[in-house]
A = this chain, B = another copy of it.
Amino acid sequence: MNASDESLMSSSDAAQRERGTDGARSFEGRLLERMLTRLGSPEVEFTLWTGERVALAGVEPVCRVRVSSRATLLSILANPAVRFPDAYCDGRIEIEGDLVRLLERVYLADERAPVPSALARLLGRLRRPHGNSLAGSRANIHHHYDIGNAFYELWLGQTMAYTCAYYPTAETALDQAQIAKMDHVCRKMRLRSGEHVVEAGCGWGTLALHMARHYGVKVRAFNISKEQVAYARERAEREGLAGQVEYIRDDYRNISGRYDAFVSVGMLEHVGVDNYEGLGAVVARSLGDNGRGLIHSIGRNYPAPMQPWIEKRIFPGACPPSLAQMSRIFEPHNLSILDVENLRLHYAQTLRHWLELFELAGDRVQHMFDAKFVRMWRMYLAGSLAAFTTGTLQLFQVVFATGHNNEVPRTRAHLYVP
């Protein structure tokens, strides 16, 4: 189909709409229209395997989707939130245009969609995501984090920090923003030389090394990802910090000992809301009477399950909490919330940077894995970016202290002294 066909088709569509009929629309096309309406009318145009084009009246498409077969369309109609990205990954649909913009429209449209039926809500509640028992967490974390450090090195930047960065200015580069994030976290906790810090969920060990090197603290850092812990230990040895930083391959639930500060950056998403009170008990027993800490996590404005495709394919067991849900960590243990900062737009910028590096490394990723893997990770990174730009996801940094701790900073000005 060439450009003139396209414009012809569009005017004919417009004419049909003016007539208020759907004339030559196929049965599948009508089902697709119904789905688009139910999804809140995202600005997308579909081209079916027959060449038929389907878009809602009055909608200006930002993206075009080509569907290869009736079976693919029917599968998407049955469960668009999961089967649409699956079909993209398998190459059964092609997407032309700006994937991030399309997904932004879908997220925004989703909020305008009619309230789900009672049956849909019930099914949603019954759908149990992957559990976070000790063994469940090991499996869930292995699924995402143990697929090869070399892959993550391609697009996370020098720091290998796989969490929201902090951009003091719009021009800050990724690596500098990751370092700024670590300093922001350390300053929020007012780390002092000689103190003992426990870290729950330490990724490739970057923050622990940063705290040890620049703030003179001793760190015990917990993580259940085999590959990450091996990588972190090797880094600590290589950088001469193995005496200050101990990486422990174990679950946060098994943290023992007493510390001055508790820090967790990007683990809470994997904990599961049902385990928050237990996590709070770990925090409280780690800190004793006079400690403080910081938890950094993806969150939401209100409770809602993880996007189901992300939960199924990318982050089994993951759930970003609302701030009220996060409070279940603190309230039962008289932990006092001192400071909450929402870094949502910083995560959007971080994802923009990751996605750029990922696309640059596309051929190498395809060589390491396959084309499907590239599409799956593109969908995940683009969808996450869209979720942060639209406000579907938030990023909360929560600073807290034990309830009677009066040794807390008077103001936050010290965070912003150059």
Contact = CB atoms under 8 A, between A and B. Distances in A.
Interface of A: 108, 111, 166-170, 301-303, 322-324, 327-328, 330-332, 334-342, 344-346, 389-391, 394, 396, 403-406, 408, 410-413, 415-417
Given A323-B327, A412-B412, A406 B345 contact: yes
A148 to B, nearest CB: 34
Contacts of A168: 410-411, 413
A406 B389 contact: yes
Contacts of A334: 111, 301-302, 391
A141 to B, nearest CB: 28
Contacts of A324: 323-324, 327-328, 331
Contacts of A406: 345, 389, 391
A408 B345 contact: yes
A69 B327 CA distance: 46
Given A331-B302, A391-B404, A413-B416, A337 B340 contact: yes
Contact of A322 (B111, B167, B331): B331
29 contacts: A111-B334, A166-B411, A167-B410, A301-B330, A301-B334, A302-B331, A302-B332, A302-B334, A322-B327, A322-B331, A323-B323, A323-B324, A324-B324, A324-B327, A324-B328, A336-B344, A337-B342, A339-B341, A340-B340, A345-B406, A345-B410, A346-B410, A391-B403, A391-B406, A411-B416, A412-B415, A412-B416, A415-B416, A416-B416
A111 B336 CA distance: 14
B342 A338 contact: yes
Contacts of A327: 322-324, 327
A301 B391 contact: no
Contacts of A341: 338-339, 412
Contacts of A410: 167-170, 345-346
Given A337-B340, A391-B403, A331 B301 contact: yes
Nearest to A111: B334
A165 to B, nearest CB: 12
A344 B409 CA distance: 11
> Shortest 5 CB-CB distances between A and B: which pairs?
A340-B340, A324-B327, A302-B331, A324-B324, A416-B416
Nearest to A335: B301
A189 to B, nearest CB: 15
A404 B331 CA distance: 29
Nearest to A108: B404
Contacts of A345: 406, 408, 410
Contacts of A417: 416
Given A323-B324, A337-B340, A338-B342, 6 more contacts: A322-B331, A323-B337, A324-B324, A336-B342, A337-B396, A338-B341
